[in-house]
Amino acid sequence: MSEKLTAKEYAEKLLYTPEYAADKQADVKEKAAAFAEGYKKFMDSAKTEREAAVVSEQMLLAAGYKAFEPKKAYAPGEKVYFIQENKAVVAATIGQKPYEEGFRLVIAHIDCPRLDLRPNPLYESDHMSYFRTHYYGGVRKYQWATIPLAIHGVFTRADGSSVNFAIGEDENDPVFCITDLLPHLGAEQNERKLSEGIKGEELNVLIGSDTVEEEDVKEAVKLNTLILLNQKYGITERDFTRAEIEVVPAAKARDVGFDRSMIGAYGHDDRVCAYAELKAILDIEAAPEKTCVCILADKEETGSDGVSGMQSSAFECFMEELCDSQNVPLRRCFANSFCLSADVTAAFDPNFPEVSEKRNDAKLNYGMGICKFTGARGKSGTSDASAEVVAYLRKLFADNGVVWQMSELGKVDQGGGGTIAKYMANRNIDTIDAGVPVMSMHAPFEVVAKFDCFMTYLGVLAAYKA
């Protein structure tokens, strides 16, 4: 006969409430703070997906990774990587077990919402020179106005050579901006919907106002800007058609709060998970049981299309080359693999509780957010992980001291969003989303908690070692 419990004892045994965890993990705070310093340095040097790929490659090379050679058989413990179109990264540490038993995959994306220059961006209006832009991804347009902006990119010359540049990051650099109306003249603008406070065609970046010295020169301010660009980079106006140039916030990653418990930066979505994933695979000291693969993808913010997005076959070609070296069908490897889709989730914001489902939304300092399904409204566009996959991940985290919480993206009919998970699940790979909760997601300055960042690193490390 079982012992009768009191109501309080039943409550302790049966009820579940996620707990604020940072104050219960005093020994972890120091490690989380140290982890955050490395992450902030990564963020400051990786403002674009190309730069993130460059920094990632540098870290991989320093850790002994070598360029992948197709048709070569690799031994346990060997480390390989490849870069796709200078914008995506795949790295693998070869495991002890045959590929037929599956891989341990972790995937994040390194592209972020931004402003791209149009193919013919430079123009002059009333003795002011501007760049015309085309927004990429989902930053609300009004948030781009009146903040310091930096310009990063690459020009490809006619001879095939390229020149990379970044202006606005060094304290001695000039910065750029998108202007807005003064409130004294903004009465009509105030009547616009918030989504149209600044319109797409108004996202024009102010880049100059000085002219060439000669008189009677048409578009003298534009010409002066081009002369400066030509003197420094050797480019002409025609070269913009052979360029990829991005406008991003000029701010660096900074500690947030008197207690320095949070990090504010542009691009947490999803470089905070990308860094955790990369750092974790670098920290695998010995040959893991199963081959571990780190995937840093491009184009997630616009649907994962293109040769560097996760709908490309580039990832499959790499995996197939590996499997062929052991005469293993790729489909069998996929069927036996597990993928952690490390993407951020929305954090509950006490300023805007009306859009949240408080019992199910993630919160800062509650640990890594597990998201069983994403999508919009009726779960449209999600892989929706099975109960068995959720149970597997929960046990994995419990066995490795990873603090976690379940998460959704606000109220059911409020909106929603998607991740790369579905593209992995479509390949018959068991996949689940889990990542860092973010406040002000898709803004020029997003906020995360250092504790959650470190727990995400531990969660990825556990997934690799499983």
Read out DSSP for 241-275?
Answer: GGEEEEEEE-PPPEEESTT--EEEETTHHHHHHHH
Q: Could you tell me the pLDDT band of residue 20, with boundaries at 50, 70 and 90?
A: confident
Nearest residue to 300 (alpha-carbon basis) of 86, 49, 123, 103: 49
Q: In the prediction, which pLDDT does 221 show?
A: 94
- Whether 275 shows a pLDDT value over 70: the answer reads yes
Q: In the prediction, which pLDDT does 2 show?
A: 61
Q: Report CA dihedral (456, 458, 464, 466) to the nearest 10 degrees.
A: -120
Question: Three-class SS of residue 26?
Answer: helix
Kindly report which listed range (34-38, 49-53, 153-157, 183-187) carries the lowest average pLDDT score: 153-157
List pLDDT tens digits, range 144-168. 999 999 999 999 888 888 889 999 9
- Whether 215 shows a pLDDT value over 80: the answer reads no
- Whether 1 shows a pLDDT value over 80: the answer reads no
Structure tokens at 171: 């304290």
pLDDT over 90, % of the chain:
83
Mean pLDDT of 395-407: 95
List pLDDT tens digits, range 48-95. 999 999 999 999 999 999 999 998 999 999 999 999 999 999 999 999
Distance of CA 88 to the CA centre of its chain: 12
- Whether 337 shows a pLDDT value over 90: the answer reads yes
Average pLDDT across the chain, whole number: 94
- Whether 172 shows a pLDDT value over 60: the answer reads yes
Angle between helices 268-282 and 26-44 (to 10 degrees): 110
Q: What is the pTM of this model?
A: 0.95
Q: Could you tell me the pLDDT band of residue 416, with boundaries at 50, 70 and 90?
A: confident
Question: Three-class SS of residue 159?
Answer: coil
Q: In the prediction, which pLDDT does 25 show?
A: 79
